[in-house]
Structure 1
Amino acid sequence: MTEAIDALSNKILTPQGDGYYADVAQLVADEGLIKAQLQQELNKLNAANIPVDIDFKQGIKVLGL
């Protein structure tokens, strides 16, 4: 999993950092698709109220200050 995340990060962040924004936009348009099988699995998670994203809350109110 770590290798896959590193590879994808390099595939997106390196060209973006080098200023090739159009290339990154094209990559996301071409490969950033949610296919039917993944959508079915995401629907199952949603129906079961299982979070699929991390919602990091921070700030003064969270700290009680």
Structure 2
Amino acid sequence: MEPLELELSVAVRSHAAARAYTFAGPVTVRLTPAPVPAHERYRIRSRITPTARSLHQRLNAGPTTAS
């Protein structure tokens, strides 16, 4: 992870903690070059990537019932 990506990840987690937000998994920031010509200054994309732990918990949770 690049230094700026690490700094932004820490800032996101700090902001979330101050606001009592929670995340579905670990928070990471990855910076990628914009396609040329880039008309936007920044583009933010997000996704939830399941971890091995969350997959294990989901598989072992047993059946769920609908109410």
Taking structure 1 as the reference length, what is the TM-score of the superposition?
A: 0.33
Taking structure 2 as the reference length, what is the TM-score of the superposition?
A: 0.32
* Structure with the higher fraction of residues in helix conformation: 1
